[in-house]
């Protein structure tokens, strides 16, 4: 489920209301879910919602979650 990210909208300084801007903010909880993370991020990237911000919360995961997140961010 996606929700508009008012913080992102506020930073655009766009005069349109936040719901008219095609920026989306996705929250991805990923504690020790590295084996699913790349597929999840690619799925978000493939959406037709326009530009997005993906916030990955790994909560000090002990698997390769952080590495995958950093590689995807490049």
Helix 65-73 to helix 34-45 angle (10° resolution) is 20
65 pLDDT above the threshold of 60: yes
Who has greater pLDDT, 16 or 29? Answer: 29
Alpha-carbon distance of 66 to 33, in angstroms, equals 10
Which tokens sit at 70?
Answer: 């950093």
Render pLDDT for 34-58 as a digit per residue (tens, 0 to 9): 999 999 988 888 876 667 788 888 8
63 pLDDT above the threshold of 90: yes
């Amino acid at each position: 489920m996606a929700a508009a990210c008012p913080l992102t909208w506020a930073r655009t300084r766009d005069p349109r209301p936040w719901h008219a801007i095609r920026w989306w903010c996705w929250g991805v909880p990923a504690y020790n879910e590295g084996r699913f993370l790349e597929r999840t991020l690619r799925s978000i990237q493939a959406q037709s919602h326009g530009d997005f911000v993906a916030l990955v919360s790994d909560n000090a995961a002990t698997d390769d979650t952080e590495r995958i997140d950093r590689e995807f961010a490049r």
